[in-house]
Structure 1
Amino acid sequence: MEAIHPSLSKIQYLSPPVNVTIKALKANSAVVTWDIPEGDSVIGFAITQQKKDVRMLRFIQEVNTTTRSCALWDLEEETDYIVHVQSISMSGTSPLSEPLRFRTPREAETQASKSKDEVTMEEVGQSTQLRAGELIIIVVVLIMWAGVIALFCRQYDIIKDNEPNNNKDKAKNSSECSTPEHPTGGLLRSKV
């Protein structure tokens, strides 16, 4: 019997993630969630996503995170997918989780599942976020316009204040040269 190297006996093996589920399933997106067994020191995750009966894989990996969910995007409607999740620790990756199979619905099915007047929380959140963004833009534009108007008024006051002084100076200069016979100034020239 061979002796096992002492450093290998101390390696802690990670357990694969458990309770892997799909939430928020739509025609072109889904959210994968999972749990980590107690005691595993996990620093990230890796997800493999594959269309059923197709050899191409999408591999998503994140480290330095404690999140236990991941959004899958660019999915095709009415398509079967297989997802595996792995935990990542400082010493390596766990085995793959049990395969999770799911099928995306048709776009029409997701739209038909809610009535015309029904509003989802997602839509409310998006419109609130949009309104907040619009409000910020409006406030910035109003502040900028107020600044432009204040600058214009200041410049206008400076111009207005300087204008009467120029007229008074011109009036003084023209009155110095004027004579009682000719209030506009100057002497009569005789025609020769």
Structure 2
Amino acid sequence: KFHEICICLFKTILLFPTLHLQYIITRVLSPPVNVTIKEVKANFAVVAWDIPEGDPVIGFAITQQKKDVRMLRFIQEVNTTTRTCALWDLEEETDYIVHVQSVSMSGTSPLSEPLRFRTPREAETQASKNEVTMEEVGQATQLRAGELIIIVVVLIMWAGVIALFCRQYDIIKDNEPNNNKDKAKNSSECSTPEHPTGGLLRSKNNNNRLPSVNIIEV
């Protein structure tokens, strides 16, 4: 029995690479989904798509064809995780059909559902650009008007603050002479002047009154 078990294990080891390769070959990738056109112009377009979860995708392949024309353009890129591709050198007012495939180590997936789109005229593209430019100009004008309003309000507030400060300063300046007069008056009342005949007058005090001294000459 031990000999038979060893033989079975040996056969399994030998057959494992073949079984693994067969599993990889038989596993088929799912085609990309949600294939759409994100941007289209007269001679330019951008294709976008999604990959089903779990697929070991390492790149993509795109087939581009004019409607009712057999000539194809094939675009393939590997070692990338991007989900968009730019189509260039298109003709204006032309119908195109696009298929997308996923690329893995084992090969490519089936073709996605065909995506049909039509390129516009160059004049229409320029008109759309002008519309976008006018919208941007309108938005910029609105922003500038709002900024001017804010600036005017701030200037008015500063002018009010400066006027209030000047008014308070004038009031304080007008009150300064009156304060000086009151101080001088108070100081003169508290002082003791000399009598013109050589005597001394009584000093003025709010609480104590001292008698005056008179000198009579004979």
TM-score relative to the length of structure 1: 0.54
SS at match of 1:47: strand
Q: Which moved more, 1:141-150 or 1:153-162?
A: 153-162
Distance 2:103 2:200 in 1: 104
**Deviation (angstroms), 1:45:** 0.3
Residue deviations 1:10-33 (CA, integer Å, cap 9, x gap): x79900000000111000000000
Equivalent-residue separation in structure 1 for 2:124 and 2:68 (angstroms): 24
Q: Which segments of 5 or more consecutive residues in structure 2 lack a partner in the other structure?
A: 1-14, 24-28, 205-217
Which residue of structure 1 lines up, in the alignment, with residue 55 of structure 2? 40
Indicate yes or no: 2:140 matched with 1:127. Answer: yes
Determine if contact 1:174/1:185 at 8 Å carries over to the other structure.
no
Give secondary structure in 2 for the equivalent of 1:101: strand
Flag structure 1 segments of 5+ consecutive residues without an equivalent: none
Q: What whole-Å deviation, never above 9, does each CA across 1:33-68 have from its counterpart, x for those lacking one?
A: 000000001000000000000010000000000000
Larger mean CA deviation between 41-50 and 152-161 belongs to 152-161
Sequence identity percentage: 93
* Structure-2 separation of matches of 1:49 and 1:132: 49
Please point out which of 172, 183, 189 is paired with 1:170. 183
User: Could you report, residue by residue, the CA deviation over 1:94-153 in whole angstroms, capped at 9, with x for unpaired residues?
Assistant: 0000000000011111111xx776556999999999999999999999999999999999
CA distance in 1: counterparts of 2:130 and 2:56, whole angstroms: 47
Task: Please report the RMSD computed on the Cα atoms of aligned residues, expressed in angstroms.
Answer: 11.0
Classify 1:118/1:63 alpha carbon distance in 2 versus 1 (closer, same or farther; 3 Å). Answer: same
- Choose between structure 1 and 2 for higher RCO, CA contacts under 8 A separated by at least 6 residues: 1
Q: Pick which of 172-181 and 117-126 moved more.
A: 172-181
Query: Which range moves more in the overlay, 75-84 or 165-174?
Result: 165-174
**Counterparts of 2:199 and 2:90, CA distance in 1:** 93
Change (3 A) 1:180 1:125: same
Instruction: Say if 1:126 and 1:21 are closer, same or farther in 2 by CA, change over 3 A.
Output: farther
Q: 1:165 to 1:146 in 2, by over 3 A?
A: same
Q: Is the 8 A contact 2:99 2:112 kept in 1?
A: yes
SS of 1:60 mapped into structure 2: strand
- How far did residue 182 of structure 1 move? 103
Q: 1:184 and 1:57 mapped to 2: Cα distance?
A: 135
Q: Which residue of 1 aligns with 2:153?
A: 140
Question: Cα gap change, 1:184/1:165 in structure 2, threshold over 3 Å: closer, same or farther?
Answer: farther
Q: Measure the CA separation in 1 of the matches of 2:65 and 2:35.
A: 15
Higher helix share: 2
Equivalent residue pairs, number: 185
Q: CA 1:76 to 1:6, structure 2 compared with 1: closer, same or farther past 3 Å? A: same
